[in-house]
Structure 1
Amino acid sequence: MLLTLTLLVFLLLAACGPKSSGSIVEGKVNVITTFYPIYEFASEIGGEDIHAINLLPVGVEPHDWTPRSQDIINTSKAQLFLYNGAGLEGWVPNFLKSLDAGSEAKAVEVSKGVDYIMTDEEDGHDHGGEGEGEGEAEGHTESLHTDPHTWVSPKSALIMAENIKESLQSVDPAHKDGYEERYNKLAERLRALDSKFAAELAKLPNHEIVVSHQAFAYLARDYGLTQHAIMGLSADAEPRSQDLLKLAELVKKEGIRYIFFEELVSDKLAKTLAGEAGVSTMVLNPVEGLTEAQEKNGDNYFTLMEKNLQNLILALQ
């Protein structure tokens, strides 16, 4: 009876909250990914040789999401667990410790090799020991955090795609050539996107962007923009009123015409600031996940990044 009750509680817990996509398929290379861009790149490179399961449900923002019991069960049975790292998924160390003792899942931090941006901005969530800076570099006494939003720049996304390809080849060498071929096609598209961002943004007279969430540092660094964020690294961090006033002054002084917001978090603060400064709002998407409408429309990393570029061109003219 105790065993039955325990099992019932476990099943109820597993049923709580939004579900991730899918379950383990026998006879396939099962790849578990933590959020959308990694899922898309893994699916593109893996093709028919893999079965990819994305833990983060559609319409959910990744910063404060935590896994469910079913996610631990699936990952324990998988061959590969791909996560961003750089402090995005603070739950990963404990999650990996929770896997079944006999699990052969290989965990890979796919942002490894990206030239990380360090910030003293508090991100509002626990890293679980991951993504911390080395501390008091160059006289800074506060601890530094790694900005985890690597994938938002196509340059960094290319490094991540290569890491995904190599991880697939390491667990499934029999299909090494297929992974290489599909990676090369994806890499070609990412390089084309990188070239387009560089060429189009270089033509524009303005380079200052005001965003709701500090998610665009890699994009800004790689394409000559300056990012001013209402909130910190975490999308639900609360700004101080004096920070909003300073940003409103900056918007007026620099002649900024749009405040950017993102669809997976509330646009309330962006609209408040835009109203204060007398400007409009527009979407700049950090591509952390798809909304239900975007999934239905067949959107992906490339279509969303193309929309970002068009909105940047409109805002910075």
Structure 2
Amino acid sequence: MKQLFKGKGWKYGALPVLLLLLLVLVLPGCGAGSRSAIVEGKVNVVTTFYPIYEFAKEIGGDDAHIINLLPTGVEPHDWTPRSQDIANTSKAQLFLYNGAGLEGWVPNFLKGLSGDSWVQAVEVSRGIELITSGEDDGHDHESGEAEDAAHTGTDTLHTDPHTWVSPKSALIMAANIKDSLIKADPAHRGGYEQRYQVLESKLKALDAEFASTLSGLPKKEIVVSHQAFGYLCRDYGLTQHAIMGLSPDAEPRAQDLVKLAKKVKAEKIRYIFFEELVSDRLAKTLAGEAGVKTLVLNPVEGLTDKQKKNGDTYFTLMSSNLQNLVLALQ
């Protein structure tokens, strides 16, 4: 298969019909905009999920070939790689992953790469001051200005991996991606630097817009479906109350929903936020119990098929988030 990816040695006319059928069935099934073949003559970069993919594409431009592992419409917390992903990554020059506990499969994945692989693995969240919280039991967790410090004592600590949801953290991630591209492909340093500066300007403008807009709103508390907005809350003076924990699969207890419904009523919170890539069942249940409405707050973990078709990006989704936050916090 290594020769097949490099386009050498194999004669497609000589391949058995069965193998051709397998190639037709397997390769397109990898998901649009995700798993694609290695390209010769460019630095090949494999990314683990959407935000890293978008930033790498913007910085890499025509000088880099970016392969995103996570298919469109898939939530990253539960996804695991396939053998084709290992094959592609073994032939790449860079493997960019978020880290901070998001991709628990990474250590074994890297061990599974071919012995002759020269791929450099880069944790793009490095340099961000990470948030830790108590045991991820799916109960109502809070994080904000007063609650983003590490718990002490005997609590089990869990790192919040959702770094990219804050433009301030996204700036650090983009710089790490730029540096890794320059290290892997110094011949195109100028292009990477130039395109990074464009991305940096956009992220700084988004950061400034979030800071100025949210600072002027009277309310500061939001209720979300899962605990994905800790960095956003910390950086812009908000507090989140989450139905579920750091993982969207953590199911809350009935008494936790009742307690949260009482808080929503007492604090006159008008909206419960839900996400497109996760079931909205619990958010709607809580909204019905509290007598309020629901709105989308997108953790930008990936695009839906509709969002991809519409040309949505990290920036359009974050702008929509800000609009909905304004509506909820007035």
Q: What letter matches 2:286 in structure 1?
A: L
- Partner of residue 78, structure 1: 92
Of all paired residues, the percent bearing the same amino acid is 74
Structure 1: unaligned runs, 5 residues or longer: 125-136
Evaluate the alpha carbon distance shift between residue 213 and residue 81 of structure 1 in structure 2; reply closer, same or farther with a 3 A threshold: same
- Partner of residue 212, structure 1: 225
Evaluate the alpha carbon distance shift between residue 15 and residue 168 of structure 1 in structure 2; reply closer, same or farther with a 3 A threshold: closer
Q: Conserved in 1, the CA contact under 8 Å of 2:151 and 2:157?
A: no
Q: What letter matches 2:115 in structure 1?
A: A
Q: Does 1:40 align with 2:49?
A: no
SS at match of 1:290: coil
Q: Does 1:23 align with 2:72?
A: no
SS at match of 1:260: strand
TM-score if structure 2 supplies the norm length? 0.87
Q: What letter matches 2:266 in structure 1?
A: K
Q: Does 1:98 align with 2:102?
A: no
Which of 38, 53, 65 matches 1:51? 65
Aligned length: 299
Q: Conserved in 1, the CA contact under 8 Å of 2:134 and 2:155?
A: yes
**Structure 1 ranges of 4+ moved more than 3 A:** 10-21
Q: Does 1:60 align with 2:53?
A: no
Q: Does 1:226 align with 2:239?
A: yes
Which of 283, 286, 305 matches 2:296? 283
- Cα deviation, residue 143, structure 1: 2.2
Q: What letter matches 1:27 in structure 2?
A: G
Evaluate the alpha carbon distance shift between residue 49 and residue 193 of structure 1 in structure 2; reply closer, same or farther with a 3 A threshold: same
Q: What letter matches 1:66 in structure 2?
A: T
SS at match of 1:243: helix
Deviations 1:92-149 (A, max 9, x none): 000000000000000000000001001113278xxxxxxxxxxxx7742122111000
Within a 5 Å distance, the mapping from 1:1-317 to structure 2 comes to 19=31, 20-122=34-136, 139-317=152-330
- Cα deviation, residue 305, structure 1: 0.1
Structure 2: unaligned runs, 5 residues or longer: 1-15, 139-149
**CA RMSD after TM alignment:** 2.1
Evaluate the alpha carbon distance shift between residue 80 and residue 27 of structure 1 in structure 2; reply closer, same or farther with a 3 A threshold: same
- Cα deviation, residue 13, structure 1: 11
TM-score if structure 1 supplies the norm length? 0.90
Q: What letter matches 2:225 in structure 1?
A: S
- Cα deviation, residue 212, structure 1: 0.2
- Partner of residue 132, structure 1: none
SS at match of 1:212: strand
- Partner of residue 134, structure 1: none
- Partner of residue 129, structure 1: none
- Cα deviation, residue 21, structure 1: 3.2
Q: Conserved in 1, the CA contact under 8 Å of 2:92 and 2:118?
A: yes
Q: Conserved in 2, the CA contact under 8 Å of 1:72 and 1:98?
A: yes
Q: Conserved in 1, the CA contact under 8 Å of 2:45 and 2:66?
A: yes
Evaluate the alpha carbon distance shift between residue 192 and residue 93 of structure 1 in structure 2; reply closer, same or farther with a 3 A threshold: same
Q: What letter matches 1:237 in structure 2?
A: A
